[in-house]
Each structure stands twice: as structure tokens, then as C-alpha cells.
A and B are shown apart, each in its own frame.
Chain A
């Protein structure tokens, strides 16, 4: 797959503050990457480096084959960016605002109407941006990022302020772009929301990349236990006691038991739960969430220091 973004050994400091200390990563065509980290971990700085808005103190950044800070603009035409807390001039209408950005990207202004429809702003296109709600402004922000079929999309906290329905349609748009071969970088706090939507997760903490891989990779590395919860059949309270005594199981309530199974013993536990004659009415297997993975990697780094 073609590499669209290459970040190698990049560091960036603002005076005494080291926002990014040492990060290398490569993003490819058709990949959706979740960039995860605390506030102030260096996510926004990393995105600004990819946009060429700040110059790296050390290392190199290449986006679509160009150095984004060198003042060449060919790559920027194929780049979509949605800043965190996007804002627009209040006096202009949504349509006028989008037309302005379309002209700057040399995208035909006629196509902006369809784009506004796509993000659900068709009805409000001719109202002043000053009258928009936070969610509507976010949608307008998304629409400008989608101008001109971008090859690389950098979305900084894209779903803050979007209601659940819109959030879903937002991820539909992201999936469409990915299918079209675009690289989509999502930075987010809402980790659970990214589950199943990101091919890859990059975790940064205090300016350093501490994990990078698919969700499955990270789960394997972290070796976090899988939670198995079962509901006992009927009123066999004694059976519950037997199970609980057999090791590891916790009581959730009268009929439900829970165990945190290590990756190695997961299959064995499941066999027991599913064996003929076991007094089990139902069971759920809950893999570690992205939140837990994130916490794990942060803790691991904390211990390593």
C-alpha cells in the first residue's frame, strides 16, 4: 500500500516545553488510524506538524510526498483538516463559508451544495453561521474537510458536539472515504466509539509514541484478561456456590457470575461454561475495551519510568 504520511524521528518544542519528543510513524492509503492520548499528550502538535503549520525541531515529516512546511501547496489541496473546536466567521452563511474554502482549494463552488446536504446542513445553508449550534458548526467543519476528495484527512476530535445519529453518519462518511483509499487520522478521547472503526491505534503520551498497532495486536501485547459473565439456569443457588468455589468466579448477583480470564485460560474457561450439563442459561464474552487497553499502556509506561 502507498504510504501517504511519513513521520520520522520528529521532535517539536515550544520554548522549554517539549510537545513532541520523538515520534516516528507511517500511515498508508485506505487506513483509518486512531490517535489516542491525554490532553497535552502531543496529538494536536503532531497534526499541526503534518499540516506544516509548525516546523519540527528535529526529524522530517512528509505528507503525500511533500514537506508540508516547505510552502509547497500541491499536497494541501489533497488534504482535509478539521481542527479541534472549529470556528468560522459569524457574519457569513454556511453556504458562503463553504464556497470560500472551496475556492481556496480550487474545487468547483457548485459542488458545495451537495456536500452541505451530505453533512445534514442543507436546510440551514443560507443561515448565518452565528446562529448555528455547536453540532452544526462541527458539521460545517466536517464539510470543509471533505472538499475536493481528500487523500489524507486529519480530524482532531471530530465527533465532539455531534449527537449519536450524526455520529453514526459521520463514521459512515469516514468508511466511504476509507473505501476510496483515503488515509483518515482520527484523534479522540472517546475511545470506545473508535472501536471497530479504526484499523490501527497509535497511543501517544507526553510526546512519545507508546503503542502502535491494530486493536488485536495491542490486545495481544497487553495480555489483558477477557471478562466472561454467565447467567445460571433456574434457581440453582448451590451450583453458583460450587462454581464460585471452583476458582476465580465472582458473584455479580444471585444468578450471575463473572471471571477475568487470562488469554491462555480463556478457551478452557469457555469449555467449562459450555460443557453439556453445566447449569448455564447464557454467557457473554467481553474483550478488553480500548479504554482498558489505553489505561494499561499508560500504566506500563508509568511503571517503566
Chain B
């Protein structure tokens, strides 16, 4: 346990030193604030809570941005240290290889959580400061949006590690990471949509659709944030959500599995790898 903490601490220290933390936080805060003020202008007074609007636009943004940031931090984590030669020394210390993975994961997740919390939190605070009318349920939805964004980040950090332990060169890891991002964020949904249109409901039942939605962590995230209550009506995801029999608990569970499986696979591959 101590070793995990020591390694996580060093990752955070490095993140602070090479400005990763600063850059990520500023980026998320800038985008969140922009969306908050630009996005709330056109709604006027049509009854939608200002914060709900922000949730819809921010979670749409998160689907693109959070996996990208997570993969950027994580794809280099193992293969980069191998290539620079620092991993050899680290593994000669009394540290288990799974502890190296777990420690890096904890550190990177802390960096991402900090940036998300601060960046998106700034949007909520700014909105509250302008005196917008916000009810309590919207605040709850906003908090769960932040937490699930962090969870989405955790998924892609874990996937990034798996990529990082499987390849021999940093360049390869970078290429695969971009591929993973394109697949889950853009291609998968387009392909799924095309499939549904072609199929016209003949073969693909609700159950299959649920499985297909859970098979992509970004879809699980989307359903979790864009389908509940007022937000669902706003985002147009309510329709999908009504047909899909997926409770928030199932979706969170799916995301947790999406963290656990790649992370354990990464630890397993890493422990077998010869230096």
C-alpha cells in the first residue's frame, strides 16, 4: 500500500512540475466557462434550468475531451519509462510490478480528478455567482456529471496503460491511443447508428442494443448523464433512454468494469514482461 502511495505521489509531483495539471485544469475551466456563458444565452427563459443546459453541453464536451486527456497522460506511462530507461531502475527496487501500475493509476487519476473538479466546478460557481436560478436536483445532476466524468477518465487511463504495456515503442502507443479514441468517441456511434437504421428493428432487440451501448464506455457515460429528468428532455437522449432498460447503477457498474478489466490486464501483461 505504501509503495502505491509513494509512486502516486511521484506521478503527481511530476504532473505538477511539467505543467500537466495546470494545462489540463485551465483547458477544462476555460471550455466549461465558455460553454456556460455562451450556451446559456440562446435558451433565454424557456424554462430550462441554466445548470441543466450546462450539464448537457459539458457532458457532450467531456465525451470528446476527457478520454483524450486520459489517453494522453496514460499511453506513455509504461512504454515511455521503459524507453527512457527509468523503469529498469524502478523495478530493481522492492516494488511489485502491479504496485507500479496501481501507483501510476492513482496518481494520474488524482491529476485528472483535480482538473475536472476545479475546471467544471468553476463553471458551476460562476453560474451561481451570476444569480441564475438553480434548483437542488440540478446540483445533484451536476455533481454526478463531474463524478462520472472522472470515472470516464479512469476508464481511458486504464485502457491507455493496457496499450502502454503491450507495445515496444512510444510512437506505436501514441498511434494506438489515437485509434482507440477515434473508435470509441466517433466511429462506434456512427457505426451503431448506421446499423440501427439498416436493421429497422428486425434483428437488434432492446437487449442487444443495451449490450452494444455498454460495450462502449462513452455511450454508458452519455446515457448516464444525458437521459435523466430535465436533462433528458433537453438533450434528446430521453427517447433512447426510455427504450434502453439500463439503470444508472448498471451504467456505473459497466464503467467500473471498464476500469477494472483493462487495468488488471495491464498489470498481468506487465508482470509477465521481460525487461
Binding site for B on A (CB under 8 A): 14, 48, 51, 53-55, 71, 73-74, 76-77, 79, 81, 83, 85-89, 91-92, 96, 100-101, 103-105, 141, 144
Contacts and interface: CB of A to CB of B under 8 A. Distances in A.
Interface in B84-128: 84-86, 88-96
A88 B274 contact: no
Contacts of A71: 96
Interface of B: 3, 6, 10, 13-14, 17-18, 84-86, 88-96, 274-275
Given A71-B96, A104-B95, A87 B86 contact: yes
Contacts of B84: 87
A1 B13 CA distance: 44
The prevalent SS among residues of B at the interface is helix
Given A83-B85, A85-B85, A87-B86, A105 B93 contact: yes
Contacts of A77: 94
B94 A91 contact: no
A54 B86 CA distance: 16
Nearest to A100: B10
A96 B13 contact: yes
Nearest to B20: A91
A81 B88 CA distance: 10
Nearest to A144: B89
Contacts of B94: 73-74, 76-77, 104-105
13 contacts: A14-B274, A53-B91, A53-B92, A54-B275, A71-B96, A74-B94, A76-B94, A77-B94, A81-B89, A85-B85, A88-B86, A91-B18, A92-B13
Contacts of B86: 87-89
B239 to A, nearest CB: 49
B73 to A, nearest CB: 14
Contacts of A100: 6, 10
Given A48-B275, A51-B92, 18 more contacts: A14-B274, A53-B92, A53-B275, A54-B274, A76-B92, A76-B94, A77-B94, A81-B89, A81-B92, A85-B85, A87-B86, A89-B14, A91-B14, A92-B17, A96-B13, A101-B93, A104-B93, A104-B94
Contacts of B92: 51, 53, 76, 79, 81, 83
Contacts of A14: 274
Contacts of A89: 14, 86
A71 B97 CA distance: 9
A103 B6 contact: yes
A55 B97 CA distance: 14
A103 to B, nearest CB: 5
Given A91-B14, A92-B13, A104-B95, A83 B275 contact: no
A14 B273 CA distance: 12
A49 to B, nearest CB: 11
A269 B96 CA distance: 62
Contact of A104 (B6, B14, B85, B275): B6
A54 B96 CA distance: 14
Contacts of A101: 93
A194 to B, nearest CB: 23
Contact of A91 (B3, B17, B96): B17
A73 B91 CA distance: 11
Contacts of A54: 274-275
Among A53, A86, A92, A104: residue with most chain B CB under 10 A: A104
A87 B6 CA distance: 19
A96 B12 CA distance: 13
B85 A87 contact: yes
B130 to A, nearest CB: 39
A85 B10 CA distance: 22
A92 B93 CA distance: 19
A292 B10 CA distance: 47
Contacts of A103: 6
Nearest to B90: A104
Contacts of A76: 92-94
Contacts of A73: 94-96
B88 A83 contact: yes
A9 to B, nearest CB: 20
A79 B95 CA distance: 13
B100 to A, nearest CB: 10
Nearest to A77: B94
Nearest to B91: A53
Contacts of A53: 88, 91-92, 275
Contacts of A83: 85, 88-89, 92
A92 B14 CA distance: 7
Nearest to B275: A53
Nearest to B81: A89
Contacts of A144: 89
Contacts of A81: 89, 92
Contacts of B3: 104
Contacts of B275: 48, 53-54
A74 B6 CA distance: 18
B167 to A, nearest CB: 18
Contacts of A55: 274
Contacts of B6: 100, 103-104
A274 B101 CA distance: 71
